[in-house]
Copies of this chain bind each other. A is one copy, B any other.
Amino acid sequence: MTIHSPFVLWFTGLSASGKTTISQAVCKYLLSHDIRRIEVFDGDVIRTNLSKGLGFSKEDRDTNILRVGWVAQRLFNHDVSSIISVISPYANIRNQVRTSIGKGFIEVYVSTSLEECEKRDPKGLYQQARAGLIKGFTGIDDPYESPINPELNIDTSKLSVEACTDKIFTYLSQNNYIK
């Protein structure tokens, strides 16, 4: 397997929707096929290395997303693909990143429902948000603007991890990103 054309796989969706799980499975699969020209950016990587000093206001969230998009673009310009998992709740900013990348930007909407995400709540964040201990939490008291025409739509409550990654690789293959 080789990357024929670089891409930015942009996983967007609510907290606990399964973005990181799926993106890690995709990454693992690529590495197991000896594909190394990739970088993975998930919430932890971004918080540690790129967003220190930013909060959760709309402005700070936008700055964060544009920053991640900018780094992905730098890599993309040199044929390095990125796999990115960020809630990225605002459609307008996601579309700015889309425009900056152009062909190669693949929006993967992880559309797992709020009810399901809240049921999972692995870090207890929804519970804290419901109790008012966390303010501006996406899906509770801050909006999530669903993608209108995402390249892919994945609901991790209906598909297994394998089925989700299959769907992604089918897309990548059919659109000549990988061969």
The interface of chain A, by Cβ under 8 A from chain B, is 37, 39, 49-50, 52-54, 60, 63, 66-67, 70-71, 74-75, 78, 80
Contact = CB atoms under 8 A, between A and B. Distances in A.
Copies in the complex: 2
24 contacts: A37-B78, A39-B74, A39-B78, A49-B66, A49-B67, A49-B70, A50-B50, A50-B67, A50-B70, A52-B63, A52-B67, A53-B53, A53-B54, A53-B60, A53-B63, A71-B71, A71-B74, A74-B75, A75-B75, A75-B78, A75-B80, A78-B78, A78-B80, A80-B80
Contacts of A70: 49-50
A175 to B, nearest CB: 22
Contacts of A75: 74-75, 78, 80
Nearest to A79: B78
Contacts of A49: 66-67, 70
Contacts of A67: 49-50, 52
Nearest to A63: B52
A74 B71 CA distance: 9
Contacts of A53: 53-54, 60, 63
